[in-house]
């Protein structure tokens, strides 16, 4: 196991801060019944380096304190992200498969969270709405972006250190 060097801690903190900042920058579409959290593209970093699981957990936790439904979002939204990125690390055999874990896990957990908070619609509609936003950001946009980034050896070296 690697030591938590200053460089490693700094990299984890920088990516957590980036997740937090990107989420708040698009707050009107990052929270609520329809979510397009562009910061979720960063979860794909976990496929390349499990250290970024810490970044995603911390960044999501901090961002969720700014959610209109933070009392549910802080524990359950954060848990959804942590479960998704851990599954990416453990079970993700390729980038496309890995990208589906956040879609499924957030769809279920955050969809349930929204159903509890807002009600009025069938549970599956909340789940589908969250899963759709994740699918767009992480799989449809994120996977091609990271496939392009894989061609940059400097970038790959940086995220795998």
- The answer to whether the CB of 131 falls within 8 A of the CB of 104 is yes
29: its two tokens: 């579409």
Q: Is 94:146 a contact under the CB 8 Å cutoff?
A: no
Per-residue pLDDT of the chain (161 residues; tens, 9 = 90+): 457 889 899 999 999 999 999 999 999 889 887 788 999 999 999 999 999 999 999 999 999 999 999 999 999 999 999 999 999 999 988 999 999 999 999 999 999 999 999 888 899 999 999 999 999 999 999 999 999 999 999 999 999 88
Of residues 68, 55, 65, 57, the one with CA closest to residue 17 = 55
Query: Domains of the chain by range and CATH?
Result: 6-160 (1.10.1760)
Cα(85)–Cα(19) distance, integer angstroms: 14
Q: What does the alpha-carbon distance between residue 33 and residue 91 come to, in Å, rounded to a whole number?
A: 29
pTM above 0.85, yes or no: yes
- Between the alpha carbon of residue 35 and those of residues 70, 101, 134, the distances in Å are 15, 17, 8
């Amino acid at each position: 196991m690697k030591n938590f060097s200053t460089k490693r801690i700094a990299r984890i903190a920088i990516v957590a801060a980036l997740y937090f900042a990107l989420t708040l920058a698009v707050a009107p579409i990052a929270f609520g019944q329809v979510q397009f959290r562009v910061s979720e593209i960063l979860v794909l970093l976990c496929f390349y380096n499990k250290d970024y699981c810490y970044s995603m957990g911390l960044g999501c936790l901090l961002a969720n304190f700014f959610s209109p439904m933070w009392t549910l979002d802080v524990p359950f939204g954060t848990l959804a992200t942590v479960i998704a990125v851990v599954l990416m690390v453990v079970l993700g055999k390729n980038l496309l498969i890995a990208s589906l874990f956040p879609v499924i896990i957030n769809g279920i957990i955050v969809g349930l969270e929204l159903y509890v908070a807002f009600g009025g619609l069938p549970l599956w509609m909340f789940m589908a709405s969250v899963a759709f936003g994740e699918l767009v950001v992480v799989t449809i946009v994120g996977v091609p972006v990271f496939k392009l980034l894989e061609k940059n050896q400097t970038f790959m070296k940086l995220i795998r250190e």
